[in-house]
Amino acid sequence: MAQLAEFIGNHVLLVTLFLAVLFLFLFSAYKQASEGMKSINVEQLTRLVNQQNAKLVDIRPEEAYKQGHIVNAINMPMDKLVTGKVKLDGLKKRPVVVYCQVGQTSMKACKVLNQAGIETAFSLQGGLNAWLKDKLPLTR
């Protein structure tokens, strides 16, 4: 315990930065949990699609979608989703998995979908990059 106190005394800046990062991480995790946002990995995505007939929503721009997307995914660009220019009728009765390129924007899209009445919206962790990292196929 004396060594810990000595380390903290010798590395005040390092310890302060560590505590700041820890606080931000915990705050972010709490915010996600309190807003009901759920994220899943690629393995959970394939299981959800195969077992519960989940619908995949690609929120990337149409040009990126045309270059390659996950099989059976529908394209709902984020800007159209936010402005309400897309129909969500067929998505309300089954799980929805939203993905973007890296997994950040899809969390925002899940929030929009939850506000639109879709209860089971998931974000793909790592987005399409995670899908490609696992060497899974795309379709055009």
Residue 70's CB: how many other CB atoms inside 10 A?
Answer: 22
DSSP 8-state assignment for residue 37: -
Paired tokens of 7:
């380390």
From 109, 108, 42, select the one nearest 74 (Cα to Cα): 109
Residue type, 32: Q
Measured over all CA atoms, what is the biggest interatomic distance in the chain, rounded to whole angstroms? 62
Please indicate whether residue 100 is annotated as part of the active site.
Answer: yes
Q: C-alpha angle with apex 41: 40 to 42, nearest 5 degrees?
A: 130
Distance of CA 86 to the CA centre of its chain: 20
81, 91, 100, 121: the active-site residue: 100
Q: What is the DSSP letter of 135?
A: T
Q: Which residues are catalytic?
A: 100
